[in-house]
Structure 1
Amino acid sequence: MNRLALSRRALIGGIGATALFPAWARSGTPGIGAALSGPEIRLNVGHTPFTVGGRTGHAVTVNGTLPAPLIRLKEGQTARLIVTNHLDEDTSIHWHGLLLPFQMDGVPGISFSGIAPHSSFTYEFPVIQSGTYWYHSHSNLQEAMGHYGPIVIDPADADPVAYDREHVVVLSDWSFMHPHAVMKKLKQDAEFFRRDNPNFAELAAGKGQTLKERLEWGAMRMSPADISDVTGATYTYLVNGHGPAENWTGLFNPGERVRLRIINASAMTIFNVRIPGLPMTVVNADGENVRPVETDELQISVAETYDVIVTPGDAAYTLAAESVDRSGMAHATLAPRMGMSAPVPKLRERPTLSMKDMGHGGGGDHAAMGHSMKMRDPENAARAGVKLSPGVDMIAPMPVDRVGDRGLGLEDETHRVLVYTDLVALAPNPDTRSPSRSLEIHLTSNMERYMWSFNGEQFSPVTEPFRFEKNERVRVTLVNDTMMAHPIHLHGHFFEVVNGHEGHHPRKHTVNVLPGGKVSFDLTADAPGDWAFHCHLLMHMHLGMFNVVTVRPLDSERTHGAGDAA
């Protein structure tokens, strides 16, 4: 096959093509590399074989590459993106973290009807922000099959972050098992992918626990090993589409200030990121600039982004992204020259959950058997506003604000670990009004049956949405009644995470809520329309931890005198 034919087949994702790496993701790229930009961008969604670790599987790709092409926009321009669907099923693209009209948000059934097979859809919207973002499918679990890519938006004015070179670092998880098969396994046995843990039997039996603690866990039919649903038993962890053996390498000149735009595009994996021997200065979170803060490790939940500055010397460094359950690692190399490498750190001991993760506040003396048995009683549920159903197996009796806590498994590290209370918005928060009301939303589940929900209700067409008046200021508190961390994402808005830095709370679109914990954020509902609100763990969203945030009135309703009809 000649190169012209191969290029054309890769472009449309034709059968027989092999997934290529876009220029920015190729090993040895001296900087970000080529990107799609300009007044009009064309994206083609199709099927492409993908090879990693010597095995080949089936991917859903954009323009024949995994990850998808880097899209580079400029604040102030109008973006026009023409998406053509070459699949035999519907597809979509959601522009994760972008502020745009809700009709352009790309969520089938919420903001538009989806992109039908062998048809096209044109997204067009003004670009009113800058920073690091990404895009992905919101259709049929395609995101888990490779349908994701990065977005960089350059600021209209001078960038407050000084750097000499930049690399995009897209972290993801890849399975040769189809995501619907993965979901079926989880529905049949929520522990299926955790049984690869060599300590699983010991953990399930309560090794290292007191008798009281073993009774406590047993009464709830839960395991302290419940860190990740899907593990390295099926996942290969990727950096820019490269597996661990393929050693993606990003080049630099010694002494340069290198900006790493880190995006967690995983379906189900939270990562702990560190570069041994090289401190990271966090300068941006979820696309918003923060006051520089130096750290040695950060936990990046699914759908979050962090920009960090590193200043490497004349040596190679390993960028290590360890899955939160320590069942595997994505890693890459930063080096001044190709062919260099650095030692790859060993996987650390797998973490276990504590009574605090079970919703017992500080744990310890609070973990009384009688108290635990009331975790699902009707009085407690009514007080929390949770609908008791077979989909709810617990309500945290004493959830605590964990916004200042380190991520799971990082509690005892001796080096610096980023926490949300370290984040301070560089610019003052734009809305300084006090919230006019409070809203508490519980993250609920029956983990044994693998059922996920908000306030005890799995999403359905008759689920009552969360309603806001346009420009209303609301304090939203997320209470995690489950024993897993959940990255909760709101489309079309940024919110301020309440972390003690009044007036400079970090503005985010995704927040990780630790098990048994609470996170509060202040939301100005300034984007009229219907917006998806969900856990960004793909299987959790698909199986019910999803709802709609509706903001009314629409501008058109106000224009035509429709009042505040919802």
Structure 2
Amino acid sequence: MTRLGPIHRRRLLGGMSALGGAGALNALLPGWAQSGTPGRPADLPTVSGPDIALSVGHTAFKVDGRAAHAVSVNGTVPGPLVRLTEGQTARISVTNALQEDTSIHWHGLLVPFQMDGVPGVSFPGIKPGETFTYEFKVRQAGTYWYHSHSGLQEQLGHYGPIVIEPAAADPVAFDREHVVMLSDYSFMHPHEIFRKMKAQSGYFNRQKQTVAGLLAGKDQSFVERKEWSAMRMDPTDILDVTGATYAYLVNGHGPQDNWTGLFEPGERVRLRIINAGAMTIFNVRIPGLKLSVVQADGQNVRPVEVEEFQISPAETYDVIVQPQDRAYTLVAEAADRSGTGRATLAPRAGMTAEVPPLRERPLLNMRDMGVDHSAMTGMEGMAMDHSAMSMRDPRNAPQVTLGPGVQMISPMPADRTGDPGQGLENVGHKVLVYTDLVALEPNPDPRPPSREMEIHLTGNMERFMWAFDGVGFSHLKDPIPFRLDERVRVTLVNDSMMAHPIHLHGHFFEVVTGNPGRHPRKHTVNVLPGGRVAFDLTASDPGDWAFHCHLLYHMHAGMFNVVTIRPLEGAGA
């Protein structure tokens, strides 16, 4: 059952007679249900209990008044909020009402690999007209989500949130909560989006540098442009799919629809923020409010106060805010600043706040190319011969298979876990970085890694080819092997000039951030361009697990592999 905060308890003890009929009903609703936008259906219908039924089908809906089509769960976008309790056994029956196969992956949940929901890896998928029942014991608490792992259905609306109540007392104190699910939607079919990027990778980039920008001094100098042109790279290429085709949604609402979350002044409001975007990295802020980050990827962290954070597809952050008697705008700005998702937090329905304009779009720099400025001291003002940097020298990454899919090898990749994200370096306020995250509880496995491995994130942006170590999934011969319960340090090296949020199914890993023993535990980590991220993994759950970039079209284009953990029961050593 959803907890009632102190204010709600006082209401109940104070007697219901002081409330009108509708007001009494609203007061009895849990915090996440006390929200809505006039003229819109109720937000985030909820399913819970030991037996849950979900149906995947086609649905007509509207985005800012424009008719749209979705692949939805139980007829809504997002799908219903699935509320579970740590320790329970969940039985979730999923019926496929489509004319094609479908699936549901329980993102971030620790489940037997047969219940993980990845067709061709952990189960066959769900055929049209058939029902598959997922059954697993709930082993954790926190904020998670679910989505299709079949084709490009996720882009069409096949996703929804999960909230798991802790079995013990929640260390996070709050009076009310709202799930805030960010996503991107295009009226263009996802296969057409993919086809256009394969034909012209920058098809959706409408923010390229211009002569006017050069004359105004806003963009790169002529010399810099010439150097980047020689490398066939575009410094404005931040996101592949942009606001040129995307509408940015909050709980299925476009900016004009303006989803509204209600609160009472003085409450501690918990916002469970989930990035369900197919291709969009969002920068999230609420002008006028501090954000106290208390959870990352469903795992509790020591509270850290910020004014903005970057959230990649598949990540979740829980924040506490304490709003006063006024309306606030929740801003979810695309990282390339080509568009914004917008919602409102308000004490009363119908209130709005100013929506800030888009900020100036960022440009890629040498650090994004894997060139560490600290290693180039004294070279200022010198013309650089980028062709002499041996960007594809196999000595820089001997395990990478070179070919047309490898455009470059970062010559000096740096640890960028202390960086705030592209375009957020000089915003003038505190922005969350990975090194701010400290686990609330000690890491469960204190053993040092027994071995290390390095995995390169490679690509060719011109051809829209993406892979691990230069080999796309369609050409892979071997999965990535681990022994059961071994402890491994994995270093991800981004040899491309685009960020890649990398997700491992069925496990949490500890991002190495300089807080030994309390490194943040995550299931998805964003590796910035030209950067490197190390994480420690305990291979605790046997089976076959998907490992991939969570930018949907990057995964679709080949940045996908399978992690095998052996031995399985009965399979021998």
Q: Tell me whether the two structures share a fold, i.e. TM-score over 0.5.
A: yes
Give the superposition deviation at 1:200. Answer: 5.6
Give the superposition deviation at 1:57. Answer: 2.0
CA distance in 2, matches of 1:167, 1:23: 8
1:41 equivalent to 2:52? Answer: yes
CA distance in 2, matches of 1:551, 1:335: 48
1:193 equivalent to 2:216? Answer: no
1:146 equivalent to 2:161? Answer: no
Instruction: Please show how residues 347-386 of structure 1 align to structure 2 within 5 Å.
Output: 347-362=358-373, 365=379, 369-381=384-396, 383-386=397-400
Instruction: Please show how residues 30-429 of structure 1 align to structure 2 within 5 Å.
Output: 34-194=45-205, 196-197=206-207, 199=209, 208-210=219-221, 212-362=223-373, 365=379, 369-381=384-396, 383-429=397-443
CA distance in 2, matches of 1:283, 1:293: 7
Give the superposition deviation at 1:371. Answer: 4.9
Determine what percentage of the aligned residue pairs are the same residue.
Answer: 67
What's the counterpart of residue 507 of structure 1?
Answer: 521
Give the superposition deviation at 1:25. Answer: 7.4
Count of equivalent residues: 536
CA distance in 1, matches of 2:499, 2:249: 21
- What is the RMSD of the two structures over their aligned residues, measured on CA atoms? 2.1
SS at match of 1:36: strand
Gaps of 5+ in 2: 1-31
What's the counterpart of residue 493 of structure 2?
Answer: 479
Which TM-score applies when normalising by structure 1? 0.91
Give the superposition deviation at 1:384. Answer: 4.0
1:460 equivalent to 2:474? Answer: yes
Per-residue deviation, residues 173-201 of structure 1 (Å, max 9, x unmatched)? 0000000000000000001000x227467
Gaps of 5+ in 1: 1-21
Give the superposition deviation at 1:50. Answer: 1.9
Is the Cα contact below 8 Å between 1:62 and 1:69 reproduced in 2? Answer: yes
CA distance in 2, matches of 1:312, 1:522: 38
Per-residue deviation, residues 281-301 of structure 1 (Å, max 9, x unmatched)? 000000000000000000001
1:497 equivalent to 2:511? Answer: yes
Is the Cα contact below 8 Å between 2:394 and 2:400 reproduced in 1? Answer: no
1:27 equivalent to 2:41? Answer: no
Give the superposition deviation at 1:212. Answer: 4.9
Per-residue deviation, residues 472-501 of structure 1 (Å, max 9, x unmatched)? 101101000000111000000000000001
CA distance in 2, matches of 1:384, 1:315: 58
CA distance in 2, matches of 1:425, 1:384: 35
Give the superposition deviation at 1:217. Answer: 1.2
SS at match of 2:362: coil
Is the Cα contact below 8 Å between 1:215 and 1:369 reproduced in 2? Answer: no
Is the Cα contact below 8 Å between 1:204 and 1:224 reproduced in 2? Answer: no
Is the Cα contact below 8 Å between 1:328 and 1:347 reproduced in 2? Answer: yes
SS at match of 1:82: strand
Shift of the 553–85 alpha-carbon distance from structure 1 to 2, 3 Å rule, reads same
Give the superposition deviation at 1:445. Answer: 0.3
CA distance in 2, matches of 1:378, 1:152: 47
CA distance in 2, matches of 1:345, 1:323: 13
What's the counterpart of residue 541 of structure 1?
Answer: 555
What's the counterpart of residue 12 of structure 1?
Answer: none
What's the counterpart of residue 3 of structure 2?
Answer: none
Shift of the 61–179 alpha-carbon distance from structure 1 to 2, 3 Å rule, reads same
> Structure 1 counterpart of 2:173, which letter?
A
Is the Cα contact below 8 Å between 2:439 and 2:519 reproduced in 1? Answer: yes
